[in-house]
Amino acid sequence: MKITLLFLFVFTLGYSQNPDTTIVFDLGYAVENNWLHLEVMGYENSTHYTKPLQAKFTNTLKKPLRFSIPNGQIFRAEDSTVQDIVMVKEELIALKVGETKELPLYGMCIELSNSGNNLETKFYLDGKAEEKLLKLTQEIEKRKDFNTLGQYAVWTLTDDEDLTSISGFDESEALHLKTFVANLLGVPVPLHDPNDYTTNYHNDNLIKRAAESKFKFTFSEDSAVSIAMFDENNMVVRELYNNPNVKAGYHELDFKFDVSVYQNKAYYVRMIVDEEIKINMKMEPRG
């Protein structure tokens, strides 16, 4: 019996130190076994609902390593005032011996009340999403809803936001996500109110008092472009423009919002081109 136990111990130890390079391991398992050094920080070129984190991976083994960052993986902020993030897209990564790679990660905020100012914040692995949230993040990946609609849908589960908040320029996709979450929660899909400015994005006649501006920009190639407004905690409050196919060339992109609804002293309006922030402008509509 002693020989058998010793054999099993040596076999297990050997396996943990020398993983099969043909297997794709879970990120958490690789970190736990010290096969991988991981550093995660906020990503300055993205919003909190597209690629909010930048991860740095270093293979510490003496052989190649393959691992995945699963959809639904949660990263906990070291600073308790900063939002935690759930991954909404699986990533598969292969590292050579001693190789280091840096990669922005698709994710979304799961703490609406916390700050999105995360550039100086470290993040750590902290478990996986619960069942309903995981089903939603998988649906977001499937439909490539790495946008405000996906974020609003996540907040309905994590922060008890109203289902009507899942609204945006793409009304058909908003209805799909609204219906998907309603089914998860076992509640009816709310009726659309055509007179509610906060949930309508195509009817400027609903604006009572407008703050207006424009971005002038030359695009080197056809691009997906959106303009969104953020509060001083770096949390999105409204999308102001969305065009998934802006043609290459010079454009003037107009946008406006209702200052009788959005009454903060200051907002930050950002133009996002192909998922990266290109313009960041502070507006003080009541100043």
Per-residue pLDDT reduced to its tens digit, 58-83 = 999 999 999 999 999 999 999 999 99
The DSSP letter of residue 191 is P
Do 214 and 154 fall within a single domain? no
pLDDT (tens digit per residue) in 153-200? 999 999 999 999 999 999 999 999 999 999 999 999 999 999 999 999
What range defines the domain where residue 211 resides?
Answer: 204-283
Say whether pLDDT at 6 is over 90: no
Please state the rounded mean pLDDT for residues 78-91: 97
Do 141 and 270 fall within a single domain? no
Total domain count for the chain?
Answer: 2
Spacing of C-alpha 213 from chain mean position: 27
Say whether pLDDT at 2 is over 70: no
pLDDT value, residue 13: 40
pLDDT (tens digit per residue) in 91-137? 999 999 999 999 999 999 999 999 887 788 999 999 999 999 999 99
Band of pLDDT at residue 19, cut at 50, 70 and 90: low
Do 153 and 221 fall within a single domain? no
> Could you tell me whether strands 25-26 and 65-69 are parallel, antiparallel, or unpaired per DSSP bridges?
parallel
Q: Of 185, 217, 247, which residue is a domain's last?
A: 185
Do 80 and 46 fall within a single domain? yes
Do 97 and 158 fall within a single domain? yes
CB contact at 8 A, 66 and 43: no
pLDDT value, residue 20: 66
CB contact at 8 A, 44 and 119: yes
Is 119 inside a domain boundary? yes
Do 253 and 115 fall within a single domain? no
The residues near 14 (Cβ < 8 Å, ≥ 6 apart) are none
pLDDT (tens digit per residue) in 226-269? 999 999 999 999 999 999 999 999 999 999 999 999 999 999 99
Do 28 and 116 fall within a single domain? yes
Q: How far is CA 280 from CA 104, 112, 138, 259, 273, in A?
A: 20, 21, 30, 19, 12
pLDDT value, residue 22: 73
Do 33 and 67 fall within a single domain? yes
Is 91 inside a domain boundary? yes
Do 255 and 139 fall within a single domain? no
Q: What is the CATH number of the domain that holds 259?
A: 2.60.40.2560
Do 154 and 212 fall within a single domain? no
Say whether pLDDT at 14 is over 80: no
Q: What average pLDDT does the structure give for the chain?
A: 93
Q: What does the block give as tokens for 142?
A: 């499937």
Band of pLDDT at residue 286, cut at 50, 70 and 90: low
Is 154 inside a domain boundary? yes
pLDDT value, residue 116: 85
pTM of structure: 0.90
